[in-house]
Amino acid sequence: MWGILFVAPAVLGFVLWQLGPIIGSLFIAFTDWRLAGTPQWIGAGNFEKILAEDRLFRKSLGVTVYYSLGSVPLRMLVAFALAVLLNQKIRALPVFRTIFYLPSIVPVIASSMLWLWLFNPDFGLLNSILRPLGFPKLQWIYASDSVIPALILMSLWDIGPMMIIFLAALQGVPRQLYEAVEIDGGNAWHRMRHITVPIVTPAILFNLILSIIVAMQTFTQAYVMTDGGPNNNSLLYVLYLYRKAFEQSQMGYASALAWVLFIIIAGLSLFVFRSSSRWVYYGGR
């Protein structure tokens, strides 16, 4: 009874502001709607076209999966490592934490400028450092085979929020447990493996689900920096969808694309959630 009361505002908010638009977008997905006039019902036409004919749908899905497979595990690992690092008892901790969070504060418009400049093959900072070290002239986001790796590299830069979530979770690790392991003769690895990781598994689950959702919907980098190029090799799914929706005014087709992506993400999330009962440890249970 109390439980329902507590979640009531959130559920009401969902019903009021989100359920309608979600159902609306599902309806639009079954129509041909070009913003003018009323949507024309065309049944599963959009979905048939997407699955049967649309080569760019396949291309963009492939690009997105490639990007996600690279960025999700790397971001998780680096964010966790940073959180552990910044959970040490060291001097100037607030300064270090703030510095590592900084990239996430920089407005996107300024940070994408920065990365365009870093990645520039002729005038960029990265090549100006690497080339004297004997590296060849790397093309970064300007070559078909390196554009996604470059974007993955870039995605490691604003992991501040993930790091913070891990850091907050690490606060919940009771100190006595470490002392117990120490008394049993365990080393740092044992502490990490048997205490730290199990206790932060709820945060790991959160970050994993969220980073899958975020990675699959990555848009801004491709929109601002690569425009999907070269040769569609960074045509992330949501960029393709965006073009359909806001450049070509094909709202029906765009909605259908969105629902296909939704089903994929929901499936992945459900899979992760199902598996989580085997690896997530909740102190409250």
Is the peptide bond preceding residue 107 cis, with omega within 30 degrees of 0? no
Residue of 58, 97, 94, 71 whose CA lies nearest to 207: 71
Question: Of 62, 70, 121, 186, which one interacts with another protein (CB under 8 A)?
Answer: 121
Q: Least distance from C-beta 120 to another protein, angstroms? A: 6
262 binds another protein (CB under 8 A): yes
Which residues, numbered 205-244, are part of the site for another protein (CB under 8 A)? 205-206, 209-210, 213, 217, 224-232, 238, 241-243
Q: Where are the beta strands (DSSP E) in the chain?
A: 31-34, 36-41
Residue of 172, 181, 225 whose CA lies nearest to 200: 172
Binding range to another protein, per CB under 8 A, among 3-11, 40-48, 67-75: 3-11
CA distance 99 to 131: 28
Q: Give the three-class secondary structure for 33.
A: strand
> In terms of CB distance, is 58 or 137 closer to another protein?
137
CA distance 244 to 259: 14
Q: Least distance from C-beta 43 to another protein, angstroms? A: 18
Q: Least distance from C-beta 146 to another protein, angstroms? A: 10
Ramachandran angles phi, psi of 171, nearest 5°: -65, -25
Which residues, numbered 154-173, are part of the site for another protein (CB under 8 A)? 157, 161, 164-165, 167-173
Q: Least distance from C-beta 125 to another protein, angstroms? A: 6
Which residues, numbered 84-113, are part of the site for another protein (CB under 8 A)? 85-90, 93-94, 96-111, 113
